[in-house]
Amino acid sequence: MTVTSYRTPDQKLEQPSDALVPEDRPTAYEPVSVVARYEPPRARVNPDPDMNWARRLAPLVWARRRHLFVGLIAALVTLAVQIAIPRVVGLAIDAIIQNPSRSLTSFALVLAGLAIARGLAHYVYRYKLQRSSLGIENDLRNLIYTHLTRLSFSFFDRVQSGQLISRANSDIRAVQMFLGFAPTVAISILTFIAAFGLMLSIHVPLALVAGVTMPFVYLTGRHMRSKMFPISWIVQARTADLATIVEESVTGVRVVKSHAAEPQQVSLLQRSAERLLWAANLQVDIRARFQPLMQNFPRLALALVLLYGGWLAINGQVSIGDLVTFNGYVFMLQAPFMMLGFLMVMAQRAAASAKRILEILDQSPEIHDRPGAFDLIDPKGDVRFEDVSFGYADGENILSEFNLHLQPGETVALVGRTGCGKSTVARLLARFYDVREGRVLVDGKDIRDLTVASLRAAVGLVLDEPFLFSEPIRDNINYGRPTATQEEVEAAARAAGAEDFILELPDGYDTVIGERGYTLSGGQRQRIAIARTLLANPPVLVLDDATSSVDVQREQEIHGALATLMEGRTTLIIAHRLSTISLAKRVLLMENGRITADGTHEELMATVPTYADVLARGEDEWQAAHNPPKPSDLDSPLESDDEADLPPQLRALKHLAAARSGDGERSRPRFDGDGFDDSPVPGGGQ
């Protein structure tokens, strides 16, 4: 079994300088395979949704048939020995009654042998059956996790993570417990049949008296089952709701504490826990009302056997040994019924859990390879959006007749107000979602005709919210290329401006970072995310506001590395800030789901008032996040007469504000490749 990620054969990092440089494009496409530590599931669930849950899970059980059959054979041996013991005891009693001087040594040896055989057989059958059920649990957990990795983003947009965690853990555990316990009850039922058959062979009327209460046990259990299933479903669902609240409270602990909202979260958890408690109490009430009846009906049968059997023994119709044997078999008749109530509870919980699991496994991924899909080989990086319309779920379109063309090797900045659809463009390019209308082309090929793996190998994304795993920094950087050497990892970190702080950590590249990387600063997380994408070395690069959490000095270092990396590579920069746009020669302004202006930064500054306003707002947001004003500066930081005292970004904002209001010399800051050029723009106006 292999877990496969993808790259093109030439994606090798060399280190001629402090930055990464692209190599010649490949002539073929090949996957990068990493050998997995664990075997794949031995079987899959039956895909027919019209079958009941037990039949759908049957392939998983059948895949473990070797352990199952050995366990069942051992269980039958246990059954035979268990049936034989009361009969041997009865024969011994009759023998000593008929001949008080007879030795019971032979009977004692037989009973000792039967006890040893029962112990060994019982061990084998419990071990094999439990091992089989745990194997099924493992297969089911792997199946659901593998399926989750294949589901599309739209599925995760509408399903809470706590629900998924609950179904992948507690629900699977409920199924496993039932599968592990059910064979034991099945053996008990066989014991009941065998014992009842032997009782019939000894004395038919007495056997019928022993079984007279059994129909009442069945009817009680059936009524209990009808009440338990819906409440079991509610208990599992509310357990998942509780898990969701706990998961969100833990992962969002910084938000909770920053707002001193601990009492609010505890109150929310308490309300959810009370709803779960109500359902669990109702479940307990059902069990408390029905299980005693199911367990005491067989005890009533035992009383009837002693009453009627004693009368038969007094009248010489059965021997004392037969009566003792009957009593032993009556206890065997009780065993399955005493466990039946517990099995009913487990069965209903397992049924509810299995259906919740199958709900996920029945979800079909919306993004998948079409029949006949082919690999994207030797991508040149020509990207085109043609009349694309798209909206999330059933919402309105975010993109409407969106058109965009990126030439191979071109670097383009996409600028627009928050919520205008810039990040959506990146998600459609990587085919996280499919367009509603129009098409997205890479090298003239509709991306829906390409294999998803080869497309995403060609498109590298650095998102605005970097996600890191609780693993060593090295493993986070080489996540897309697990076979990368240490030198290549270090080259990527150096290019992203991350090496200096990594080497200052206690264990360097072996330092295990906290959950989601929160032990690092926002800028450090983003630099590691950039290094991760650099190491993958994709021919098409998308930077979705990738330096938003980096300070000015570090941003300049990263920009230098990115500028080298982007040579000969198609790059789309989703930007909110002036400094990021300096990486692009061409700038696009996006409004209302479409491109409304296209040109250089200087051209848009001179001709498009909205462009200057968007940049000013973006710069203002960045300054508020990174350099919050002191109380003494809150009056009007842009009204200082001495511009030399203002930071470069605030000085730029002053010019932008003047440009929007028409004051001053109608001057606007422009990029000259190295920084801001504050000279007046001839003819510039609103």
Q: Which of 177, 176, 168 is nearest to 357 (CA)?
A: 168
pLDDT band at 657 (very low <50, low <70, confident <90, very high): very low
Between strands 676-677 and 670-671, the pairing is antiparallel
DSSP state of 409: T
| Per-range mean pLDDT, top range of 29-33, 261-265, 445-449, 474-478 | 445-449
DSSP letter string over 580-595? HHTT-SEEEEEETTEE
**Residue 438: its H or E element:** strand 437-442
Q: d(Cα 601, Cα 347) in Å, to the nearest integer?
A: 67
601 - beta bridge partners? none
Q: d(Cα 511, Cα 476) in Å, to the nearest integer?
A: 11
Residue 162 pLDDT > 80, yes or no?
no
- pLDDT, position 388: 93
- Token output for 401: 């007749």
- pLDDT, position 405: 93
pLDDT band at 169 (very low <50, low <70, confident <90, very high): confident
pLDDT band at 266 (very low <50, low <70, confident <90, very high): confident
Q: d(Cα 490, Cα 422) in Å, to the nearest integer?
A: 31
Q: Which of 354, 362, 490 is nearest to 47 (CA)?
A: 362
Please compute the mean of the pLDDT values over residues 581-587 and round it to a whole number: 84
Q: Which domains does the chain have, with CATH numbers?
A: 63-361 (1.20.1560.10), 383-599 (3.40.50.300), 607-677 (no CATH)
Pick the range with the lowest mean pLDDT from 6-20, 244-258, 632-646.
Answer: 6-20
- pLDDT, position 429: 93
* Between residues 641 and 471, the one the model is more confident about: 471
- pLDDT, position 402: 92
pTM for the full model? 0.67
Residue 662 pLDDT > 50, yes or no?
no
Q: Locate all alpha helices (DSSP H) within 32-152, ordered by sequence.
A: 53-63, 65-98, 105-150
Secondary structure of residue 365 in the 3-state scheme: coil
> How many C-beta neighbours within 10 Å does residue 116 have?
11
563 CB-contact burial (10 Å; exposed 0-12 / middle 13-18 / buried 19+): middle
Produce one character per residue of 213-239: b if its CB has 16 or more CB atoms within 10 Å, e if not. Answer: bbeebeebbeebbebbbebbbbbbbbb
Residue 131 pLDDT > 80, yes or no?
yes
Task: Give the mean pLDDT of the chain.
Answer: 77
* Per-residue pLDDT reduced to its tens digit, 387-441: 999 998 777 889 988 999 999 988 899 998 878 888 899 899 999 999 999 999 9
Amino acid identity at 291: Q
